[in-house]
Chains A and B, each alone.
Chain A
Amino acid sequence: MGGGLIIGGKPPEPSEKKGSLIVRPGQPESFSKGVVDVSGNAAIGRSLNRSIQDDEKGAERSRRVREVSETTADERAEARARAVHDVSMDASNKRAAAVSAPTEERARAVREVSEGAAKSRARDIEARAQKAEDSILGSERVATGIENAKLLRQDVLDDKAPSSKDSRATRDREKLLEERTQRRDVRDQRQTRVEDAKLARAKVAEQAEAVRLKAEEDETKRRLQEAWAAEQAVVAKDRKERRLDQSPVEAGRERMNQMMGSAREWLSTGVTGKIGELGKKAGGLLRDAFLGIVGFHLKQKADPAYNKASFEKAGKVSLKIGAALTAPLWAPPAAAVYGLGWASVRSAKNVARWSRSGWNAGGEAFSSVGARIHKALDARALARAEQKKRELEAAQAEALAMNLLKEEEERLRLEEETKKKAEAVEKARLAAEAALLKKEKWEAKKKAIWNSARATKDKYVTGVSSAVTKFWGKTLGRTAANHSKEIQEIKKQNVELANAILSMTEIQKQLVVALTALTERSAAPKSEKVIVKDEDKKEEPLSPVLEQALNDLKSPETPNLDRALEDTKAKESSDLLEDVLGATEDSRAAEDQRQKDLKARRAAEAKGEGASTEK
């Protein structure tokens, strides 16, 4: 295969190395020097050389020899290129066949092995099932025997010798039971075997299907490879036919390019990496072998020193013979032999030069090929380097993109957190507002409840006081009316007392009026009520009247003398009036007791009212 010539190996150095394809032109001195150095007769050699160089016949011969030599070199190069091509084609075809044949054989072998293994497994399963069935039947027989032995033992223990009739019936029954059990077991086992066989068949079918699919896959691969190989063969044949019109060097160069292209294509569209690796290794070996053979051949045949040495050897022999025959007696023959020797040496030199020229051309051609290989390899290395660079750049770009992505994710996460915090703060604020509203609502509700309770209580107090006021107003008014004469009489004797009664009666009337107004206001609709709540009650500034009253009442040390006198008089008048009226001690005690009871009742009522207010 041509690909092997390109991949995995280092191309030969086109110059300087031992066995190189290139022979440097323009250095004929070495050959001349070599001839002169080995002649052994410098004077004769130099003379002969100079005379021969002037000889036109010698030049004509030299041209002919050079033409022959060049023709031979071209033919050899063409033959070598053709041989290389044939060898490469053969190797390619053989490799293609070697690649495709094992695949098919392997698929067939796998299929056969899988089918055989499946059948073998099915047989094994059936054999194991049969064995298990036999084992179960044997176990049941043993169990039945044990059971019978137990029954017999029980009969013996019960001192009931089994009669022939009982034992026969028992045996019949047991036999019947045993047969029935066996039939049932056989049926179950048959069913089990059928199920197992179904499972085995399904498994085998599954495996056969897998093998078939694998074989189809392998067949597809093989066909693809065959198609590819056939296409390559057609292309190669076409190229070979076209190459007949080309010079061997051009054909070799084209072939090399084709092989490189094929190798690249083959590698790029290779069926599998493994086959590619194998091809690469084989190609490397083939290339090494090819280059080794060519190199050795060229070393042996294209080395001017080799050719020179061959002719030199002959020249030396001739010169030695010539020298031996330099005696005058043998002058003519010696001259002839010497001339022959000279011709041989000359020929050796010319042949060496011509050979060098011919091989120079071949070497240049191979050098060109080598340079192309170098160039191709350099381009490939450059492409690989660029590919690696692109991969590195892509990796860096990817890393950068990942970093950007991470930063973006982090930013989004922070934004989300900030948003959540803001939402939480807003939620808390709304909750606080809601709580405040709720509290305000509750305060309003509480206030309404309190007001309602207060209104209820006020209504109750007002209602009670109204009833009491009404009663006492009527009673005291009636008393005053009934006893107006008496009061007038009292006034004559105790002015203070009478005035006090009249004054207090007047005050009571005004208070009744105020209380009545309060009662009427309390009875008004709720929306019109004016409720004075304790908490809302503001400290009223002291009015001048109130301030004066407080001042008067707070100076007991400087009482009003007139009032004190009046008080004294009133007391005396009272005492006198009491004496005059002659109130008895019994009636006074009864009145005191009544007053005490009345006060206690009022105190109890006031306490109950306070409790209801608190409620």
Chain B
Amino acid sequence: MTRDEAVKLVMSSSFTQEEKAMWVERLALEGLTPDVLQDLYMATVDALQGLYKKAGIEIDETDPKFEADHAEMMEEMTRVEAEFKKESE
């Protein structure tokens, strides 16, 4: 993905004008860095959650799959964090 592609994604998203302006400006200033990409992704997650909520669709947190995925995510994050700490020493 290039910066222009990211800008196009932002502009075609359902973000508000202020949100779009913020993301475009950030992309212009910082470029498409991993941080920006990650933050943009989480912003889309939040936006999707808001949209699902608006649509009355609830994410079923009791779903075993959800729990399994969440546990996997937490385990992965723990592993990455441990590895990071080890490398940072």
Contacts and interface: CB of A to CB of B under 8 A. Distances in A.
A456 B88 contact: yes
A472 interface: yes
A479 B41 contact: no
Q: Is the interface of B mostly helix, strand, loop or mixed?
A: helix
A583 to B, nearest CB: 6
Given A467-B73, A483-B57, A550 B44 contact: no
Q: Is the interface of A mostly helix, strand, loop or mixed?
A: helix
A546 B24 contact: yes
Choose among B6, B34, B49 the residue with the greatest number of A CB atoms under 10 Å from its CB.
Answer: B34
B28 A462 contact: no
Nearest to B66: A475
A476 B48 contact: yes
Interface residues of B, number: 63
B73 A546 contact: no
B3 A508 contact: no
A163 interface: no
A500 B14 contact: yes
B21 to A, nearest CB: 4
Contact of A463 (B7, B31, B57, B80): B80
Nearest to B31: A540
A461 B55 contact: no
A330 B63 CA distance: 213
Given A460-B84, A503-B12, A511 B41 contact: yes
Interface string A10-28: 0000000000000000000
Contact of B55 (A476, A487, A598): A487
B37 A553 contact: no
Choose among B53, B54, B83 the residue with the greatest number of A CB atoms under 10 Å from its CB.
Answer: B54
Interface string A520-558: 001000000000100001001011011001101110100
Contacts of B4: 543, 545-546
Contact of B49 (A458, A513, A595): A595
A522 to B, nearest CB: 8
A456 B84 contact: yes
A578 B27 CA distance: 33
B14 A503 contact: yes
A505 B72 contact: no
Interface string A62-76: 000000000000000
A100 interface: no
A468 interface: yes
A134 interface: no
Nearest to A540: B31
Interface in B1-18: 1, 3-14, 17
Contacts of A549: 7, 10-11, 20, 24
B54 A510 contact: no
Given A545-B8, A553-B21, A553-B24, A503 B1 contact: no
Contact of B42 (A468, A470, A483, A552): A468
Interface string A572-615: 00100110011100001001000100110010001000001001
A515 interface: yes
Nearest to B86: A456
Interface string B49-89: 11111111101100101100110111011011101100110
B81 A474 contact: no
Contacts of B24: 546, 549-550, 553
B12 to A, nearest CB: 7
B56 A581 contact: yes
B25 A591 contact: no
A467 B73 CA distance: 5
Nearest to B88: A456
A511 B88 contact: no
Interface string A441-468: 0000000000001001111111111111
B85 to A, nearest CB: 9
Contacts of B48: 476, 501, 504-505, 508
Nearest to B51: A501
Contact of A476 (B35, B45, B70): B45
A511 B17 contact: no
A84 interface: no
B76 A479 contact: no
A511 B38 CA distance: 8
A174 interface: no
Given A456-B88, A545-B8, A550-B24, A514 B55 contact: no
A507 interface: yes
Contacts of B69: 470-471, 474-475
Contacts of B46: 595, 598-599
A461 B34 CA distance: 8
A478 interface: yes
A583 B57 CA distance: 10
A510 B88 contact: no
A469 B84 contact: no
A514 B1 contact: yes
B55 A498 contact: yes
A501 B13 CA distance: 9
A99 interface: no
B72 A471 contact: yes
Contacts of A552: 11
A458 B41 contact: no
B77 to A, nearest CB: 5
B7 A545 contact: yes
Contact of A461 (B25, B28, B35): B35
Contacts of B81: 460, 464
Interface of B: 1, 3-14, 17, 20-21, 24-25, 27-28, 31, 33-35, 37-42, 44-57, 59-60, 63, 65-66, 69-70, 72-74, 76-77, 79-81, 83-84, 87-88
12 contacts: A456-B84, A463-B77, A469-B38, A472-B45, A475-B69, A479-B59, A498-B55, A501-B55, A508-B44, A514-B6, A515-B38, A546-B27
Given A461-B34, A479-B59, A546-B4, 16 more contacts: A456-B87, A463-B79, A465-B34, A468-B77, A472-B45, A475-B69, A478-B66, A483-B57, A486-B57, A499-B14, A507-B12, A510-B5, A517-B1, A543-B7, A550-B28, A581-B54
8 smallest beta-carbon distances between A and B, as pairs: A463-B80, A500-B14, A581-B56, A467-B76, A471-B73, A460-B84, A514-B1, A465-B38
